[in-house]
Amino acid sequence: MKTKVSRVLISVYDKSNVLNLAKTLEACGTEIISTGGTLKYLQDNGVDVRGVEDITGYPEILGGRVKTLHPKIHGGILAKQGTEPELKDLDIKLFDLIVVNLYPFNEVIKQTNVSLDEIIENIDIGGPTLIRGAAKNWNRVTACVDPKDYNKLIEELTENQGISEELRKYLAKKAFSHTAYYDSVIAEYLNGDYNLELPDINSLSKKDLKYGENPHQKAVFLEDPNRSFIQHQGDTLSYNNLVDIDASLELVSEFNSKACVAIKHTNPCGVGVSTDILTAFEKAYAGDPVSIFGGIVAFNDQVTEKLAQKITSIFLDVVISPSFTKEALEVLAKKPRLKVIETKVDKTKAKQIRTVSFGYLVQEKNIKISPLDSWNLMTGPKVSDDQLSDLVVAEKVVKHVKSNAIVVVKDGQTLGIGAGQMNRITASKLALEHAGEHANGSVLASDAFFPFDDVVKKCEEYGVSCIIQPGGSKRDQDSIKAASDAGISMFFTGVRHFKH
């Protein structure tokens, strides 16, 4: 059942697109009531609008703290069908639509040099009350809190001269989510937890996925409109695609030089760094030409026609880059099932949220990389600039490998990656065995300290020249002595990079 909109209350902090909505309502013959800054904005733009004080008979009081908290407002919102005689006796008229968004509390608490009084004044009281009242009475009243939904209202008002039950219910759910999130931010601030910066689920666009990690698991994607991407071709992205794309972007964004990252099941299987992007791809591919098959590759530089030709010579599932030349897209189009994603490649500081059996875990992202001047050379000869560059690459890569993790690098190329092992020596064996004879003269990075000297001794077998690790074991001296005896340079960073 659709409801005609005869009367609306509009009170918004964010005035995006509200003028278009107001003019549509005016054209439909709707009586428009408003408050404060919104009232002035609409009047200045030629909209026929009345102030809320004309309805209540009371002016705004207490410096604007009380505007809409009045029975003639809330009675008109909360009234159910069949209460018309009571409303008539009280001289209360019905509202059919409430358009409200709230003081920007979340934005204010992030500002520097903001006073507590200013923060408190940005706790909205009247707005949430209007929203909750309208959402509770969604069977008759529409509550709209998001400017992105104005076009939905405009479309229904224009085409149907009313608002459908389906849209009213959808907007009611969104309204309750919005006020719940708003209150949670205030509670977090008062608890001293406002730095968690949890996402507003209400602001995210929901997309159903074909299935989750496995076909028997249901899944949805809540897309952040501020972190969007362009898909040029290929099938709809799957749950696993999205997880792997995230892993690839997190790693490739670590590099200032031109880089290519190949990902399989969130672990890197090949990484190449060079002065040109084509060579970076060739290095990443050569690092593990078997595992890259059917995987995801990400670049931090434009994909050219020549690079696209190389890409299409092997089977890949997804290619990601900040940009593609027109000619590159034409080449990639010859592989129509290849998913081609264009998106910004930069570091994000969003919190990581994970469900556990007893609740949720929230943590800061691991964006730390130890600067060169903080490294301590514990033993061994002075290293060359090329070795230092490889150590930097190795530390950046090992940070993104499931623990226990070991990475072997030479000439800006991963030669072996030992991922997700239950002990460090096995991870080392996997990485070094994969590198084989190419490990001679390479560097090795570990995500955590060596509990024993066995990893260093394994490095000696393969001719590794330098090791970088956090240090911090009770038996560090054993590893330092083994490295010294082998003539291997070993740096301690003091920064651990566990990844679970």
- Same domain, yes or no, for 187 and 319? no
Handedness of CA 333, 338, 343, 345 (dihedral sign): negative
pLDDT at 434: 97
155-172 mean pLDDT: 84
Note whether residue 126 is domain-resident: yes
pLDDT at 203: 62
Note whether residue 355 is domain-resident: no
Please state, in angstroms and rounded to a whole number, the distance separating the CA atoms of residues 296 and 243. Answer: 11
Give the domain CATH number at 300. 3.40.140.20
Instruction: Note whether 266 and 368 are within 8 A (CB).
Output: no
For residue 19, give the nearest of 34, 6, 7 by alpha carbon. Answer: 34
- Same domain, yes or no, for 136 and 210? no
Note whether residue 201 is domain-resident: no
More confident residue, 286 or 55: 286
What the block records as the tokens of 172 is: 């009611």
Phi, psi of 456 (to 5 degrees): -60, -40
Give the domain CATH number at 20. 3.40.50.1380
Cβ neighbours around 213 below 10 Å, total:
11
What percent of the chain has a predicted confidence (pLDDT) above 70?
A: 93
Domain count, the chain: 3
What the block records as the tokens of 409 is: 């690098």
- Same domain, yes or no, for 297 and 183? no
- Active-site annotation, residues: 136, 265
Please state, in angstroms and rounded to a whole number, the distance separating the CA atoms of residues 109 and 132. Answer: 24
pLDDT at 29: 82
Least confident of 39-43, 327-331, 475-479: 39-43
- Same domain, yes or no, for 329 and 415? no
- Same domain, yes or no, for 155 and 258? no
Note whether residue 296 is domain-resident: yes
pLDDT band, very low/low/confident/very high, at 290 (cuts 50, 70, 90) = very high
Note whether residue 107 is domain-resident: yes
- On the question of pLDDT at 463 being above 60, the answer is yes
- On the question of pLDDT at 2 being above 70, the answer is no
Per-residue pLDDT of 16-44, as tens digits, reads 888 888 888 888 888 888 888 888 888 88
- On the question of pLDDT at 194 being above 60, the answer is no
- Same domain, yes or no, for 167 and 231? no
Give the distance from CA 187 to its chain's centroid. Answer: 23
Per-residue pLDDT of 219-270, as tens digits, reads 999 887 667 799 999 999 999 999 999 999 999 999 999 999 999 999 999 9
**Cα distances (angstroms) measured from residue 248 to each of 138, 236, 283, 296:** 43, 18, 16, 8
pLDDT at 51: 83
pTM above 0.75, yes or no: no
- On the question of pLDDT at 73 being above 80, the answer is no
- On the question of pLDDT at 62 being above 90, the answer is no
Note whether residue 419 is domain-resident: yes
Per-residue pLDDT of 411-431, as tens digits, reads 999 999 999 999 999 999 999
Note whether residue 497 is domain-resident: no
- Same domain, yes or no, for 156 and 17? yes
For residue 469, give the nearest of 491, 453, 485, 497 by alpha carbon. Answer: 491
- Same domain, yes or no, for 259 and 232? yes
**End of a domain among 148, 164, 191?**
191
- Same domain, yes or no, for 178 and 210? no
- Same domain, yes or no, for 403 and 450? yes
- Same domain, yes or no, for 321 and 409? no
> What integer best gives the mean pLDDT of the chain?
88
- Same domain, yes or no, for 432 and 478? yes
Per-residue pLDDT of 397-412, as tens digits, reads 999 999 999 999 999 9
Note whether residue 144 is domain-resident: yes
Please state, in angstroms and rounded to a whole number, the distance separating the CA atoms of residues 52 and 59. Answer: 8
**End of a domain among 301, 322, 342?**
342
**End of a domain among 191, 226, 254?**
191
pLDDT at 87: 66
pLDDT at 148: 85
Letter string b/e over residues 58-79, b meaning 16 or more CB atoms within 10 A of that residue's CB: eebeeeeeebbebebbbbbbbb
What residues make up the domain containing 281? 206-342
More confident residue, 50 or 296: 296
Cβ neighbours around 359 below 10 Å, total:
7
Cβ neighbours around 345 below 10 Å, total:
19
Rg (CA), the chain: 30
